[in-house]
């Protein structure tokens, strides 16, 4: 063992002595993990640490009510947890507390290191509050008291689901609602503008700009429902109470229900104990399912962003149906160039969320992560899950504020395209037949005429008949 310096203290755990930085609130178990896993340089997300503190607080309250943990120790643990929780209310304080949670994401697959990290930090906060030295484990022991009735195998997946629910409720859903509101506003504002629809990137039949945006708004509306379903799926299947393998050994039968009740009170999200603890701990299927909903939200956002990128192309040599907000120079060499950067950002978020979905699916599968009575890839699952929620929330907010709200339609360009479309001939097919309408479209293309001009020249229909049939606004709704 290296020679002790004034910057270190000696801690003892089940494996023996360990040097730990003197000011660190964690102990030997945590420091072993720090030394063992110098993989990515990225620690467990703050949202998971925040959720862990909420969970340990709720566990202490439950154990006290069950008369398993005395009032003095319970109060100490609750106060320590409150100190950690409140730290996340301010960025500077959050950064300070996260220094005491340094373990790499790519650690032991059960998340045992992070669970013990939390246990040790809470114990040492209590030690300082009680006037004891850090590492004294008195009056609160990290295993015997902070971890009472728990195992890493049920606390880490519970913290993962808890954190995700909190983030979905606080970050993702509010941002999606703002984006939906802006899209609906554009749909109403532009509902009388008739333009040309496109399929396969080719001209199709007329459509109102408002209808296009109503589709975008509906996609985000479904996205909100998907986020709510994801949250519900995670909240209804809390693994806490299963301890090591789902049997609940060393925990009170009412413990899990009481913990879920405390968590529900603290977060205003309804949590409930897993119906089957063996499923809840042996798999991460609820997370795979929930992230599938998030992936679909990312897909919808990317589609909207990509559509607007195409429709805003130009300004002179593209479609330029929309003027996208000018928010930054687009080129270091081409003066005056402006690019669809918000769309590009949202599309990259989709790529990352899709990658996270592959990671979570792989980590949740029996071939890799889920094995026998425990999933062994929980930290990376948690990391990807929390990252996706944060990215989607941020991207939705930026799309709303910096793309949709300031987006302008170029009405003249949008409307001028309709008369030129060969596909307006579709409305003539029930009158002159499909084959004649197809020939008309071909002849109009070859001659450079519009469908109206070509039909008049060929004397297929009268001008009055064509005026009645080629009512572009009427083509945007069902009619006989």
Angle of CA points 162, 164, 169, to nearest 5°? 100
Q: Which of 14, 200, 332, 479 is catalytic?
A: 200
Nearest CA to 192 out of 177, 178, 207 is that of 207
- Which residue in 181, 155, 175, 170 sits closest to 238, CA to CA? 155
Tell me the residue ranges of DSSP E strands in 64-174: none
* Active-site annotation holds for 331: yes
For 322, the enclosing helix (H) or strand (E) is strand 322-323
CB count within 10 Å of CB 188 equals 12
Alpha carbon of residue 375 to chain centroid: 22
Handedness of CA 18, 23, 27, 32 (dihedral sign): negative
Task: Measure the CA–CA gap between 314 and 297, rounded to whole angstroms.
Answer: 28
Write the DSSP assignment of 196-229 as a string of letters: EEEETTEEEEEEEHHHHHHHHHHHHHHHHHHHHH
H/E segment holding residue 371: strand 370-371
Residue 15: which H helix or E strand, with range?
A: none
**The tokens of 115 are what?**
């669970």
Tell me how many degrees the CA angle 183-303-196 measures, rounded to the nearest 5: 75
* H or E element, residue 409: strand 408-409
Q: Is 323 left (phi over 0), alpha (psi -120 to 50) or beta?
A: beta
Q: Can you tell me the distance from the alpha carbon of 86 to that of 26, in angstroms, rounded to the nearest whole number?
A: 18
* Annotated catalytic residue 29: no
Q: Which of 138, 152, 142, 93 is nearest to 121 (CA)?
A: 142
* CB burial readout 92-131, b (16+ within 10 A) else e: eebeebbebbbbbbebbbbbbbbbbbbbbbbbbbbbeeee
Q: Beta strand 194-199 with 202-208: parallel, antiparallel or unpaired?
A: antiparallel
Torsion on CA atoms 234, 235, 240, 244, rounded to nearest 10: -10
Q: Give dist(CA 440, CA 438) in Å, integer.
A: 5
- Return the DSSP state at 7: T
Q: Which one is catalytic: 22, 40, 133, 331? A: 331
Point out the residues that are catalytic. 200, 331
């Amino acid at each position: 063992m290296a020679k002790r310096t004034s910057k270190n203290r000696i801690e003892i755990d089940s494996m023996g002595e360990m040097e730990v930085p003197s000011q660190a609130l964690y102990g030997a178990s945590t420091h072993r993990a720090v030394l063992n896993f110098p993989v990515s340089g990225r620690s467990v997300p703050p949202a998971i640490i925040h959720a862990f503190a909420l969970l340990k607080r709720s566990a202490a309250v439950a154990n006290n009510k069950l008369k398993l943990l005395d009032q003095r120790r319970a109060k100490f643990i609750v106060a320590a947890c409150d100190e950690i929780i409140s730290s996340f209310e301010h960025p500077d304080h959050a950064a300070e507390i996260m220094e005491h949670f340094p373990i790499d994401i790519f650690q032991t697959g059960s998340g045992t290191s992070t669970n013990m990290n939390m246990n040790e930090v809470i114990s040492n906060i209590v030690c300082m509050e009680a006037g004891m030295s850090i590492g004294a484990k008195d009056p609160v022991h990290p295993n015997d008291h902070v971890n009472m009735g728990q195992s890493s195998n049920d606390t880490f997946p519970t913290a993962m689901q808890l954190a995700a629910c909190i983030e979905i409720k606080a970050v993702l859903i509010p941002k999606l609602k703002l984006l939906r509101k802006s899209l609906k506003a554009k749909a109403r504002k532009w509902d009388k503008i008739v333009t040309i629809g496109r399929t396969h990137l080719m001209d199709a039949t007329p459509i109102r700009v408002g209808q296009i945006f109503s589709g975008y708004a509906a996609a985000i509306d479904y996205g909100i429902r998907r986020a709510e379903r994801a949250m519900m799926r995670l909240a209804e299947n809390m693994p806490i109470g299963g301890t090591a393998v789902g049997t609940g050994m060393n925990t009170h039968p009412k413990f899990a229900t009481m913990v879920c009740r405390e968590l529900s009170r603290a977060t205003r999200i309804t949590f409930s104990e897993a119906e089957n603890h063996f499923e809840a701990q042996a798999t991460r299927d609820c997370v795979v399912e929930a992230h599938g909903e998030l992936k679909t939200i990312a897909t919808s956002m990317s589609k909207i962003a990509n559509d607007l990128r195409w429709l805003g192309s130009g300004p002179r040599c593209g479609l330029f149906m929309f003027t996208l907000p000018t928010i930054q120079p687009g080129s270091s060499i081409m003066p005056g160039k402006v690019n669809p950067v918000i769309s590009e950002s949202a599309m990259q978020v989709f790529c990352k969320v899709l990658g996270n979905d592959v990671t979570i699916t792989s980590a949740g599968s029996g071939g890799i992560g889920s094995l026998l009575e425990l999933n062994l890839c929980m930290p990376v699952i948690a990391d990807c899950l929390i990252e996706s929620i944060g990215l989607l929330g941020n991207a939705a907010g930026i799309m709303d504020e910096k793309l949709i709200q300031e987006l302008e339609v170029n009405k003249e360009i949008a409307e001028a395209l309709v008369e030129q479309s060969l596909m307006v001939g579709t409305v003539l097919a029930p009158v002159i037949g499909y084959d004649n309408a197809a020939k008309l479209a071909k002849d109009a293309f070859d001659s450079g005429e519009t469908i109206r001009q070509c039909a008049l020249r060929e004397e297929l229909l009268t001008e009055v008949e064509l005026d009645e049939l080629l009512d572009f606004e009427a083509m945007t709704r069902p009619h006989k």
